[in-house]
Amino acid sequence: MKVKDYFGCPREMEFPALKCGYRTNFILETDTSILLVMEPGSIEGNWYIEVNGHRIVPEDFETREIYLPSNLAVDISAYLKVGTNEIEVYVDTFRVHDGLVNPIYLCGNFSVFKDSTNWKITSFTGKGKIDERIQAGLPFYAGDIEYKRIINLNTDSIGDILKIYIEESFLEDAVELWINGHLVGICTWSPYAWRVDKTWLKPGKNEIKLRLSTTLLGLFEGQYFNHKGHRYVDI
């Protein structure tokens, strides 16, 4: 490393050209389609990626909207195997800002869990409690999540307008409420409250659906907000 001097400017560090390598492992327990996804500019310098020894070069990536319209993605399903898989990123750097500068992601229809040492990809069950996304295998998911439930109602005991409230401290997403296929309304923050037209209800079984639009915190930062501790913590 050298330090450059410019008249009237702070000193600038100059790094030599480097060959950098990044490596991570994960366990695959299901046969499913998986994309390797990143944002443009996530790797700077001359680079390539190896998935279980199979080389992927920049030209293999195609623009595909995943969480951004400009995402770059490549299908790596054919390179994966049930058991331990390895992803390696190799970069020849020439500038101080070269290297792996943003995360790269695995995307697909699956659940993600962590044991004592490794991340595991398993089949997506489609079930889970509204306040337990990590336990449901969605620790890093960003997008819409739907929760459905059937409830029995005695409509004779309900007035012309039914008021519904959700009073849960953990809830901080934008929430749509649907009843029997009717969009009741959208609440983007607390208080979560809706007025339901009685004509949308029926005696007996009624389908209640909540659609939550999550934040990008888990995806970008790998964190979630701990309400009891009132702080952000790593997943």
Instruction: Reply yes or no on whether the pLDDT at 11 is more than 80.
Output: no
- Is residue 108 assigned to a domain? yes
Residues 64 and 101 in one domain: yes
pTM over 0.85: no
Amino acid at 118: N
Instruction: Reply yes or no on whether the pLDDT at 34 is more than 90.
Output: yes
Mean pLDDT of 55-64: 97
pLDDT of residue 33: 95
Residue 50 contacts residue 70 (beta carbons within 8 Å): no
- Is residue 132 assigned to a domain? no
- Is residue 233 assigned to a domain? no
For 7-11, 72-76, 156-160, which range has the lowest pLDDT when averaged over its residues? Answer: 7-11
Mean pLDDT of 35-59: 97
Give percent above pLDDT 70 in the chain. 97
User: 212 — phi, psi (to 5°)?
Assistant: -100, 130
- pLDDT confidence bin for 197, thresholds 50/70/90: confident
- Is residue 226 assigned to a domain? no
Q: Domain limits at 68?
A: 2-123
Residues 116 and 10 in one domain: yes
What total of structural domains would you count in the chain?
2
- Is residue 139 assigned to a domain? no
Residues 13 and 116 in one domain: yes
* Residue among 121, 157, 165 at smallest CA distance from 140: 121
